[in-house]
Amino acid sequence: MKEIAGKTAVVTGGGSGIGRSISLALANAGANVVIADIEEEAAKAVAEEVMACGVGSFGMQVDVSKLEDVKALSEAVYDKFKSVEILCNNAGVTLRPYRNHWDYSYEEWKWVMDINFWGVQHGHMVFVPNMLKTPGEKHIVNTSSVVTLYTNVKHAAYSSTKAAIDGLSQCAREELKPYDIGVSLLHPGKIRTRLVTSDRLRFNDQKDAQYNVDLWSDGFSNYDPDKSKTFSTSDIKKIVEMGIDPDIASTPYEYIQPTNVGTYVVEGILKNKAHIVTHPLPIDRIKSRFDGILAAEPTYPIK
């Protein structure tokens, strides 16, 4: 995509964190931006920030795990702006504390998959057919994670959903190339957002009582019933509210504020990047993974 100004963008999970950063960066580049979020007040608050940039916007409550919600979003966007050139499927959740894959309940696996994977797929199912009907360049950004580039132990549910997004996006990139629709994967590293407090979005009867998750402290530490929490609630709130993390990462594993993520996404759209990252890559871990894949090639002839 050569220019963003004058285009219309839809950002799911746009009410905070990475989604808010993407929304504001697109607005500053001249795009109208529609904010979709499960939390309506947050969506509308970011929409106000977007309109302050001199472009059009509105905020809307959307549960991306529900196809009918995404259809309603599409209808509202096309009613107001008549077209969509940029789609950012960014809404996502995670589970804390970290634990072995067999310790997640079926309900937890399904909850994460419904939002993280099906939320993205619903975006493709609903928006792509309409995007194909109008001329001109368009772009889709799907939020994956750096955890799809290497193994992140005790994070199986989240990692699995993000790997599924990678597979979908890589196919979509090739399938949509003839139609001038680019597709990028965003692989965020450690960004200080409310993602780790995703449990706040679940109904009480869906939560696994055995972990007794504290939304702030356990979100940043492994589950260990024999040890006290690593961080106190007040400590974590200070970290988030004061914004003491840097804006730019100097190491692969450093927490940063989401401030610049949106600018990385805008650059990725303009350059039609297949992959967009937020941190220096842990080359050793990525290389180790792919070395293992390359070493799996059999020796011919097989005896």
Catalytic option among 158, 211, 255, 300? 158
Separation CA 193–CA 114 (nearest Å): 21
In order, the DSSP letters of 125-137 are HHHHHHHTTS-S-
The dihedral formed by the CA atoms of 267, 270, 276 and 278, expressed in degrees to the nearest 10: 10
Q: Which is nearest to 194 in space by CA: 93, 267, 285?
A: 93
**DSSP classification of residue 211:** T
158 belongs to the catalytic site: yes
* Whether the Cβ atoms of residue 223 and residue 210 lie closer than 8 Å to each other: no
Q: Is 302 exposed, middle or buried (0-12, 13-18, 19+ CB in 10 A)?
A: exposed
Distances (CA, A) of 38 to 18, 111, 180, 257, 296: 15, 14, 31, 22, 43
Both tokens assigned to 75:
């209808």
Catalytic residues: 158
